[in-house]
Each structure stands twice: as C-alpha cells, then as structure tokens.
A and B are shown apart, each in its own frame.
Chain A
C-alpha cells in the first residue's frame, strides 16, 4: 500500500465497489464514504456512477451536501458523479455541486439499448482506451481552463479542471487502470 494516502469512494449507491477494487489494484488505500465526517480522512474522492437522482436524494438526507461542497481536494467523478460535479445537469431533479464549469446532459446518449463500448482517444497517452458508456451523459460548453483529456468523435468524454477529473464513461468497469492512475497522480501532488 502507498503510505499516507487514502482515497475515499462515495458509497451511497452505484458502482463504488468497482472503484474500490480498482484502487486496490493500484495499491492505494481506500474507504467507502457514507458519513460526512469520513471525508476528513480522504486525500481525494471518487464520485462513482449510479443513478444521479438517487445519489442526490441520499446526499441531502445525510447532510453530506455542505461537506461535499467544501471538499477542496482532488475529485474524480464518473458518469452520474460527473453530472453532480458539473455546473448544470439540465434537470431540476438533480441539483449539481457546481465545481466544474461545464454543462452535463443526463442520459443524452439514450436508454440502455443505446449503451455501448467504444475506443476513445486520450490526450495523455498514445494508446486508445476501451470505454464503457452506460446510459451516459454528454458534456458541453466547457469553460475557460477546462482541459479536454478524452474525446469520442466530436464528444467530450473526459476532462480536467484544476484538481477535478470528470468522465462520462466507466473506467472502473474495465481492467485498464490508466485513468485511475492519472487521478492518483493528482491526489499525490
């Protein structure tokens, strides 16, 4: 295990166990975060995929919203996590944390029949990445200083803004650790 480094995975609902398994593979200590005070122990946080409406409700119910708003260490949001980190979810059911100046559009690819796997191009590596998109959102109108790190045709699928990373797909559902490694580097800084 890498010493003195703990990455939290918001574990209210969704694919949190897959992220924890990924971190274990990278020798990074992790905790499942379900209570506000657990955030204090985290050097970084993964906001997993799942249902954004459900997660939103649980965040309100547990008084964890304010603590998440104040959390200023690195965060990696995947799919539903990316929607919640954006500045607009395009849906009044899902209030966002407004951390990244970019717009998210829920389920913009369509229903489950439109879910897919496709190779995407990464800006920080020459090999493509096999990305799994499950009822994924789309991102648009990136603000100044939002770095696009991954694209699929014309769509933005992976971005970085300061110490925050958002992906509209699910790297935790593959065996490829490169995107998690990229995030861990930000946590170590």
Chain B
C-alpha cells in the first residue's frame, strides 16, 4: 500500500473542491462549521483578526485544542504551523491532522527557508501572491496552494490581487515558445520543470484555493469566478454577528457562485459582516502577506 505519496496528498485537495474551509478556535465553533456544511475546519488558537489586534508571537495551536476538535467533527481537520517550523509540522503530523497550513498568519520561524514538505506524509497547503511563489512552494512539496490575501482584514482586495496575478502569470507562460521558458523560470524564480509543466497545461499542478479577507457570500462568489476552486474563510465567520447563518450562506455561495439570483436570496437574511480594515491603514511590517517569499 502506498501512503503519503504526492498523488494521495493532492487527492484530498481534490475532494475539498467547491467547498468552504473555516477557521475555528474551539470545538463548539468546529461543530457550527460542520453543521453549516464546511468541507474542513482549520484549528487555530486565535483567528487572524485577533492575532492582528493582540500582537505578540503567534504559534501552532495547542495539541489539546486540535484533539478536542478532531473528536467532535467528522470532516477533515487542518492546522497551521509557522513558516519554516518543521518541528511544529512534525507534531501536527503526529496528531494526524489531515492537512498542514504553513502559514504567514503565524509569526515566521525561519526568514529564509520554508519547510521541505516532501519529507512529510501529511499534505501541506501554502500561501502565494504570484506564480513564482506558488511554484517554489510546490517545488518544496505543497499539495495545495491558496492566495495569501490579507488575513484578518475582512478586505478582499489582496486576495483578488493575488488570484489575478497567479492567473495572469499562468496565461503568460502558455503563450511563450519553448526556448523562452528558461528565461521565464529565472524571472519567476521558480523550478524549471514545473514552469514547463504549467506552460503546457495552462494550470497549476495542484488545486488553487482562495484565502485572506473573505467576509461575505459575494466575496466567495467573486473569488470562485476569478478561478479559485475552494475558499478559506478565517475571521469572516466568527467575527460577524451571525456566524451560523453566515457560514451556511458562504457554503451556498461557493456552490452557486455564478447564479446572481441565488446569491441575492442567500444574502438576504444576513446581519452585520465583520468590520474590516483598509489595507493602507495596516503598517507594512504588520502585513501578513509580506511574510515568506
């Protein structure tokens, strides 16, 4: 039996398509997420909006919380580790989480190197702002990509920027001649073999999801129409006035993303969304998306 191969890792990412992955900090929230139709939950100690508000060092969440969440839900449970912190990742693998997010939302442990993800049997998801960053992470073994967006901001603008950039970079590659691909790989700072593959197929070799700033059903629909295959919602649900109703609405919006009539109906009963931040008001050094490379 072949366990933990790249194919098996990407297989789980395929099963999550067309769904919503929700950030949760307690077993109660995890239950609300599962009842609303989440395809997976991301277990963490504090949601990104609170990490932003409280400052300090943000680390992997406590194994006890992860275990309690695993015990209460039947859907996949993901958890975050710090960029480059492979010991945290080893612990998460020992806890049998279903996916690890090597995440810029936590304080990076290594400013130069990301985790060598091929060493693990558990699949990894990583954030990216452009194609070069996506392909570097895939080169290290990531089985799923997501936009970085700007987590905890409730502002979709960065996720849109990153998704458009990745898609545009892919389209550019597909029109190049074979003898132009090495120069393109140099410019992207990406592994040549994967650059060749993307130029040929016109898509990433792993599923491409959206994250960072999704707060409404309309935000989810926007990201899906821009080419995301699934959405992560972090602070958007449990920082709103009506988590259970909003969670369900975002699940529906991700399936019916190209049906405006349906989206209007879905959005009818919602209360206030999370407040949200203007990106320009976040000092450069506090922007999560700038962490990692």
Contact = CB atoms under 8 A, between A and B. Distances in A.
A112 B19 contact: no
Nearest to B3: A116
A173 B252 contact: no
Given A51-B19, A54-B37, A58-B37, A114 B256 contact: no
B158 interface: no
Nearest to B70: A111
Interface stretch (B92-100, B111-119, B193-201, B238-246): B92-100
A12 B255 contact: yes
Among B1, B3, B11, B252, residue most surrounded by chain A Cβ atoms (within 10 Å): B11
A17 B17 contact: yes
Contact of A134 (B1, B11, B97, B121): B11
Contacts of B2: 116-118
Interface in B1-60: 1-5, 7-8, 11-12, 14-19, 34, 36-40
Interface string B66-101: 000000001110000000000000000100111100
A15 interface: yes
A178 interface: no
B121 A117 contact: no
Contacts of A123: none
Interface in A109-154: 110-118, 132, 134-135
Contacts of B74: 53, 91, 93, 106-107
B15 A113 contact: no
A101 interface: no
B96 A58 contact: no
A140 B40 CA distance: 26
B7 A113 contact: no
Interface residues of B, number: 38
Interface in A8-54: 11-18, 34, 49-51, 53-54
A50 B18 contact: yes
Among A18, A111, A112, residue most surrounded by chain B Cβ atoms (within 10 Å): A112
B251 interface: yes
Contacts of B122: 112-113
A110 B4 CA distance: 13
A61 B262 CA distance: 12
Contacts of B99: 112
A15 B3 CA distance: 20
Nearest to B256: A34
B108 interface: no
B212 interface: no
Among B18, B37, B98, B254, residue most surrounded by chain A Cβ atoms (within 10 Å): B18
Contacts of A103: none
Contacts of B4: 113
Contact of A54 (B3, B11, B19, B97): B19
A137 to B, nearest CB: 11
A115 B8 contact: yes
A57 interface: yes
B7 A58 contact: no
B1 A50 contact: no
Contacts of B98: 111-112, 135
A57 B34 CA distance: 10
A58 B3 contact: no
A51 B230 CA distance: 13
Nearest to A134: B11
19 contacts: A12-B18, A13-B17, A13-B254, A14-B17, A14-B19, A51-B40, A53-B34, A53-B74, A61-B252, A93-B34, A112-B99, A113-B121, A114-B3, A115-B3, A115-B8, A117-B2, A132-B11, A135-B12, A135-B98
Interface of B: 1-5, 7-8, 11-12, 14-19, 34, 36-40, 74-76, 93, 96-99, 121-123, 248, 251-252, 254-256
Among all A-B residue pairs, the 5 with the closest Cβ atoms? A57-B37, A112-B98, A13-B18, A134-B11, A117-B2
